[in-house]
Structure 1
């Protein structure tokens, strides 16, 4: 049985999905009869590089071209489509990367075409050639026979030597849009006498990530394991994907610190035998697909970065569930702590204004609240240590005098603040633009006890 992506491979430039700039380039080149001796097709996999190479090789050797497109009926076109045309030679550099293979090409290139006008060499993933093979290829590209055309395809142009790039026309292939892939999937399904809903086709297009070949591979799975009508639920179930409600539930559970629900979601994923990497990829896609509607952009980007790092780490882990569970609980703890700190900070601001009579009545917002804001936002280890220490103190403000008092059970916090007193004075003074005096007191302030508790300099 022929796979869908081979069965529906574009046969003309008109059938090529997307890549309008590539089509226009070759239309103009063919019109003016300006064909280069070497092309580099660079771009993501499944975007039409090899298909374009074959279409070009056909139009160059077609006996009855139809404008800018091959006829696909003459003996040359039919032979190229069947892969048995002697003058179109395809080579996969991933498995033929040595100097011997390139030397064979170099030697054979000197002979004229057997049946066509041009001898076309299509080398796929040519960035994988060895250094010696590149040097041998370079010699041929510098002095190519008139009847030879090289089409070099790669997904990693950065690995290609500059000397090779400078001797070829470089054409960049783009990811195919989700809209184009969606329409392509719907049309292919109809050709196979099957129906697929637009929502289902959109999910496949999104999972294909810009590659038509991957989209058709996914569609082929669905055609084999589903009934005549393919729905969104079929796609989610058969391809092992996840419902958007679950993704939203997971994200909200992290933000709200709902550990119980996070572990429940984790158990469901692993018990059903679904891929945790796929889940994380879909969560990331969900976040970025809804980024414009975000009410807290910095928060969403922050969790996306953490989940992206986890995805990289989990791919190489032997116990994915433990790693996943530990990290999502840590993320939830971080977000719930931040939320509680913000609430506590707001409460502290109110307490500082209303509870302590000593605070100057001219201060709309206490200086300490502003200092706490600064320390929290800096998020450096030293600053956070000082922040949490101050949170355990009773602080009063009066004119240019700040009193920071610690109870007996807050010895560690007292020592932290005491060791950072100079920094604190700078913070307060910078806010008021004049010198502020700080007095730091401890309820049981005995020198002997301080020496016994030699636990400072942790922060």
Structure 2
């Protein structure tokens, strides 16, 4: 089983199964990249497993993992609007009305459930109000507030949190597939904010972490620079065409730097801090750093949801993000 951390949540799910009180609908809620979808998959495999020891090596488990099991459905947002449409939910309703072919029940994961448009949410609500016998729906979301209150009230909510460094170390063999222990693991963990998805991504593609760390170094220079220097940086940054994803990647590094400073300022100790030279931003108050992090989150949301002029938005950001007056 390839779950990193989330031991409490897994025990809750196992107890539900043992006591035969698995609800017909659940919401797995927590920030992005925590492994919520992985836990949902493992739980559905656990419920379907044909092996007495629940080793999850049976045919059913393998089919679910490959999304080829006839009684398992995975619903994800569709391009170009990156939404889950009403047609997808209607197809799901038709599927749920059919008898299971292999299992004793039908199971569904709706990933990025916050992207259900309002028509799809209304359609899904009917399914939740009149659930099909022998069905399990798991909605995965990092933005539970975007789901209708009527949907939330009809689902059992399970909250997920960032994992501990100890959990990551214990799972390193699964992450690295028996490669040598990565000496950068603790640094990667700090930059990943305890999100297993990011940790795995950085370990498997070290160049992505190298780019993040390079952007991290640029953040320190920007915070120490005056407005003229910041605009010079922007000119160089946009010499080549920058995609929204690249812009968000840079902002992730900026936010990561400020979050580490925030942790240090509130008294969280870590030997890695001394290697990262966080002194520049330490001149700012906790309140200023929190506002700066919120500004970055708002900008990333605008970049991903609107047709924004990236250069103008970035320069406006550079004007307002922790102006050098300290």
1:35 Cα deviation after fit = 1.3
Where do 1:335-374 residues align within 5 Å? 335=326
Counterpart of 1:284 in structure 2 is: 258
1:86 Cα deviation after fit = 0.6
Q: Which of residues 35, 42, 55 is equivalent to 2:22?
A: 35
| Greater radius of gyration (CA) | 1
Q: Deviations 1:56-103 (Å, cap 9, x if unpaired)?
A: 22122222242xxx3222221121122211111111145562222222
Q: Which of residues 261, 277, 286 is equivalent to 1:301?
A: 286
Query: Is residue 318 of structure 1 aligned with residue 304 of structure 2?
Result: no
Q: How many pairs does the alignment contain?
A: 296
Q: Which of residues 180, 188, 192 is equivalent to 1:204?
A: 188
Q: Which of residues 96, 120, 123 is equivalent to 1:109?
A: 96
Counterpart-to-counterpart distance in 2, 1:98 and 1:313: 26
Task: Give the secondary structure class of the aligned counterpart of 1:149.
Answer: strand
Gap change, CA 1:187 and 1:270, over 3 Å in 2: farther
Q: Is the CA contact 2:46–2:56 (under 8 Å) kept in the aligned structure 1?
A: no
Q: Which runs of 5+ in 2 are unaligned?
A: 240-245, 269-278, 304-308
Counterpart-to-counterpart distance in 2, 1:78 and 1:117: 17
Counterpart of 2:202 in structure 1 is: 218
Gap change, CA 1:196 and 1:319, over 3 Å in 2: same
Q: Is the CA contact 2:44–2:107 (under 8 Å) kept in the aligned structure 1?
A: yes
Gap change, CA 1:115 and 1:194, over 3 Å in 2: same
Counterpart of 1:85 in structure 2 is: 69
1:220 Cα deviation after fit = 2.0
Give the alignment's TM-score, normalised by structure 1.
0.54
Gap change, CA 1:127 and 1:78, over 3 Å in 2: same
Q: Which runs of 5+ in 1 are unaligned?
A: 1-10, 226-233, 336-459
Counterpart-to-counterpart distance in 1, 2:318 and 2:139: 45
Task: Give the secondary structure class of the aligned counterpart of 2:161.
Answer: coil
Task: Give the secondary structure class of the aligned counterpart of 1:318.
Answer: helix
1:321 Cα deviation after fit = 8.8
1:242 Cα deviation after fit = 4.1
Task: Give the secondary structure class of the aligned counterpart of 2:205.
Answer: helix
Q: Is the CA contact 1:97–1:133 (under 8 Å) kept in the aligned structure 2?
A: yes
Query: Is residue 180 of structure 1 aligned with residue 164 of structure 2?
Result: no
Counterpart-to-counterpart distance in 2, 1:313 and 1:165: 27
Counterpart-to-counterpart distance in 1, 2:37 and 2:135: 18
Q: Is the CA contact 1:185–1:201 (under 8 Å) kept in the aligned structure 2?
A: no
Gap change, CA 1:170 and 1:278, over 3 Å in 2: closer
1:139 Cα deviation after fit = 1.9
Q: Which of residues 114, 117, 141 is equivalent to 1:130?
A: 117
Q: Is the CA contact 2:28–2:159 (under 8 Å) kept in the aligned structure 1?
A: yes
Bigger relative contact order (CA 8 A; separation at least 6): 2
Q: Is the CA contact 1:177–1:210 (under 8 Å) kept in the aligned structure 2?
A: yes
Counterpart-to-counterpart distance in 1, 2:293 and 2:190: 18
Counterpart of 1:231 in structure 2 is: none
Gap change, CA 1:181 and 1:243, over 3 Å in 2: farther
Counterpart-to-counterpart distance in 1, 2:315 and 2:130: 59
Counterpart of 1:145 in structure 2 is: 132
1:119 Cα deviation after fit = 0.8
Q: CA RMSD in A?
A: 4.1
Q: Is the CA contact 1:124–1:152 (under 8 Å) kept in the aligned structure 2?
A: yes
Counterpart-to-counterpart distance in 1, 2:146 and 2:299: 25
Counterpart-to-counterpart distance in 1, 2:162 and 2:51: 32
Counterpart of 1:162 in structure 2 is: 149
Counterpart of 1:409 in structure 2 is: none
Counterpart-to-counterpart distance in 2, 1:127 and 1:309: 20
Gap change, CA 1:323 and 1:181, over 3 Å in 2: same
Q: Is the CA contact 1:263–1:325 (under 8 Å) kept in the aligned structure 2?
A: no
1:281 Cα deviation after fit = 2.8
Gap change, CA 1:65 and 1:36, over 3 Å in 2: farther
1:212 Cα deviation after fit = 1.0
Bigger shift: 118-127 or 129-138?
129-138
Task: Give the secondary structure class of the aligned counterpart of 2:179.
Answer: coil
1:319 Cα deviation after fit = 6.2
Bigger shift: 208-217 or 126-135?
126-135
